[in-house]
Amino acid sequence: MQSTESETVLLRPGMLAAPVGCPVRWCRSTRARRVSLRIDPRAGEVIVTLPMREARRAGMALLTTHAAWVMQRLAALAPAVSLAPGAEVLLGGRPHVICHDPSARGGAFLEGATITVTGQLEFLARRVKDFLRAEAKRRIAVLADGHAATLGVKIRAIRLKDTRSRWGSCAPDGTLAFSWRLVMAPDWVLDYVVAHEVAHLRELNHSPRFWAHVETLAPDREAAQDWLRDNGPALLRVG
């Protein structure tokens, strides 16, 4: 069980610095055993988690102690990208411009480096996101089927999610799940994540045998891991 509440808190990031407004989401959780804080890169706010009976002043004390770190992390976040006409979004690691054409038909579709969206403006953001999810599902399915054939394993199902911390997962029943936002990453990065999860169908662990399968399927895994570490948070800021 968890309850949340958001507000702007004034923090002083340095002894001589002026107070700065910091967006904070307070979360009370029955599972929490101690006060903790983390940055939510998608929402651009700090999440302070409190045990159910812990006073909020304990969270404020933690925020105050780590004020400089918190403000630095928030300032380092990539700018939020709204799904609006003229905005650029990545597809396969390449920028594509969103173009609104209300007189056309077809929902949303790709034309070169343009994502054309039809219909009323109020539906544009949803249609762009639906297009990206559909494109992610199509690309992931092709990659997953190829890797599964190489390893001689069977995929039960592929699910798309919008997770904040995990790009992919593999369930014991053979169901693979991926963040739809991976469609914005370069193709070789997407390929690595898909290969990683398909390899779990052979080894549901991170043993040397597992990594050997990954290396066979995606030789660029180290570069892909670096790309996700450096650029992954920006993907969470889209939409």
C-beta atoms surrounding 201 within 10 Å = 20
Over the stretch 175-226, which tens digit does the pLDDT of each residue have?
Answer: 999 999 999 999 999 999 999 999 999 999 999 999 999 999 999 999 999 9
CA distance 7 to 97: 34
Residue type, 56: R
Over the stretch 111-137, which tens digit does the pLDDT of each residue have?
Answer: 999 999 999 999 999 999 999 999 999
Domains of the chain are 2-75 (no CATH), 88-235 (3.30.2010.10)
What are the two backbone dihedrals, phi and then psi, of residue 160, each rounded to the nearest 5 degrees? -110, 135
- Give Cα 194 distance to the centre of its chain: 15
Give the model's pLDDT for residue 1. Answer: 57
- CB-CB contact of 23 with 6 (8 Å): yes
CA distance 175 to 17: 51
CA distance 68 to 139: 41
CA distance 176 to 202: 13
CA distance 163 to 52: 25
